[in-house]
Amino acid sequence: MEQLLAARTGLPQRAGRLERMRRRWQHPWLMLAALLSIGVVALPLVYIAIRTAQAGLAEVGAELLRPRTLDLLLNTLALATGVTLLSIGIGLGVAWCVERTDLPLRRFWRVAASLPLVLPAFVSSYAWASIGATFQNLAGAILVLALASYPLVYLPVAAALRGTDPAFEDVSRSLGVGPWRTFSRALLPQLMPALGGGALLVLTHMLAEFGALAFLRVQTFTTAIFESYELHFDSSAAAALSIVLMLLCVPPAWLEMRLRAGRRVARVGRGSARTPRLVALRGARLLLVLALFLLLGLLSLGVPLGMLGYWLLTGSSAGGGFAELWLAVRGSITFAGSGALLTSVLAIPLVLLAVRQRGRLAQLAERLPYVVHGLPGVVVALALVFLSLRIVPALYQSLLVLLLAYAILYLPLAQSSLRASIELLPPQIENIARSLGRRPHQVFFSVVLPNIAPGIGAALALMTLEMVRELTATLMLAPTGSITLATEVWSYTNDGEYAAAAPFAAMLVVLSILPVWVFTRRMLHHAR
């Protein structure tokens, strides 16, 4: 009797498991496509595991215990921490002044504060390094990179300030709490998701930064790995340093992914938010804020653009790079456009699986790209060099290998852009199409793809902008004889020909203007 009862009670559970399995495998093409994308993303992790096994734990341990490794670790941590903290201070301060004070020309400052995004970090560093050796040290690198990175904190915090409910601050002030304690206890907790997300983005960028640090003569794990690759071509030292860098990158990447997963800020009332009461700036306070804003604009935009203009017009090597400028533009756009297209193709099944399915594979598809995203381009490129030479030598220095590197580095950007569009597409539409006799691939091309086209367009635009500015993977993997704007800036600057590098750096800035302008226009529209 007990066995019969157990059998009967187990039937619903077994039926539920079978139903979940049936739903999970009703799209085998989606599972296979997602597995292919996961395999591509996992290549750097496979490389690190293989190289560690080949070198042996003893050799890897000896490499990690060298005094130079400790120096690299301290430099990397000091740089990442310093730039992140300074970016938080600048970004939070600028956002509060723009959104919560009656600062004159607020709309102008709202746009101007985001303009450093137009300058790639290695272009800003090239400009500062060309002044002389004054800024070619750790302190100079922290200052220069913070000036280039603070918009990554400013923009989300400014958006959060526009969306927070001022009722919390009103209650705090009505209880006699001063302005500083009100800010720290009532307002700052509401800003923490945006502030933390921006700070983690800066931190992961700094752990992966190469070009800017090479120009500023600062040694970190990324520069050491690149030098080891150039000197010894895939040495065990590079593999050992890659392990440490991966361990440093995984926690920030995981935290960034968790913050992206969903952010909620409580509101007291319903409907639209009340306009907060602006803090009045008068007399000395107004002059001080305006002076600080002007100083920030001078350092973040004035000096880099001024030095860029100087090298365009003067210098013994001026005009040396104009003959190859359009070849570099064509190479940059070709590589970036192809890479963005491939990355979107790989991202679509990952996002579809994460949205439509449940289970460990879906979780892996959603999370693994964000974890690997924390690895710098030098490690990803090193992995693809190693694997292509040993598995398919004919692919070494082919365009496909470079595009795979772009896909591994920027897949999370595509996922973020595509997810919103795919979540808005009801699965019932696909079920109806299948019930009418359409095959899975027909449903995808006739129903899914047209509906997620806006997300694909946004993903392509965002990734093309980022890939045009990518340096490290392009240096290591670009086909022989091909050039891009980023690699030409690197090549000429490495030889001390700052004027010859200027046209390529200026063109990179020009290509970045339109996306930043569109973004700031959208920000102003939502700020009204």
Average pLDDT (435-443) is 70
Q: Is 279 helix (H, G, I), strand (E, B) or coil?
A: strand
Least Cα distance to 365 among 46, 40, 29 occurs for 40
Residue 216, pLDDT > 80, answer: yes
Residue 171, pLDDT > 60, answer: no
Top-ranked range on mean pLDDT: pick from 133-147, 190-204, 410-424, 502-516: 133-147
Q: How much is the pLDDT for 319?
A: 55
Residue 190, pLDDT > 60, answer: yes
Residue with the bigger pLDDT between 457 and 297: it is 297
CA angle 255, 66, 246 (to 5 degrees): 20
Structural domains of the chain ordered from first start:
47-261+282-313 (1.10.3720.10), 315-528 (1.10.3720.10)
Top-ranked range on mean pLDDT: pick from 149-163, 229-243, 311-325, 366-380: 149-163
Average pLDDT (387-391) is 87
Alpha helices (H) in 436-484, listed in sequence order: 440-443, 449-451, 453-468, 472-477
Average pLDDT (380-398) is 87
Range scoring the smallest mean pLDDT among 46-50, 169-173, 387-391, 503-507? 169-173
- Phi-psi category of residue 446: left, alpha or beta, with phi > 0 → left and psi -120 to 50 → alpha: alpha
Least Cα distance to 51 among 225, 251, 209, 224 occurs for 225
Q: How much is the pLDDT for 339?
A: 93
Q: How far apart are CA 144 and CA 127, in angstroms?
A: 10
Least Cα distance to 83 among 220, 186, 182 occurs for 220
Q: Is 209 helix (H, G, I), strand (E, B) or coil?
A: coil
Contacts 24+ apart (CB under 8 A), 93-97: 94/150, 94/154, 94/158, 94/293, 94/296, 95/153, 95/154, 95/157, 95/158, 95/161, 96/161, 97/289, 97/293
Q: How much is the pLDDT for 523?
A: 53
Residue 320, pLDDT > 60, answer: no
Q: How much is the pLDDT for 403?
A: 94
Q: How far apart are CA 395 and CA 477, in angstroms?
A: 10
Residue 520, pLDDT > 70, answer: no
CA angle 5, 8, 12 (to 5 degrees): 140
Global pTM value: 0.80
- pLDDT above 70: percentage of residues in the chain: 77
For 276-306, what is each residue's pLDDT tens digit?
Answer: 677 777 888 889 989 999 999 999 999 999 9
Residue 87, pLDDT > 90, answer: yes
- pLDDT above 90: percentage of residues in the chain: 16
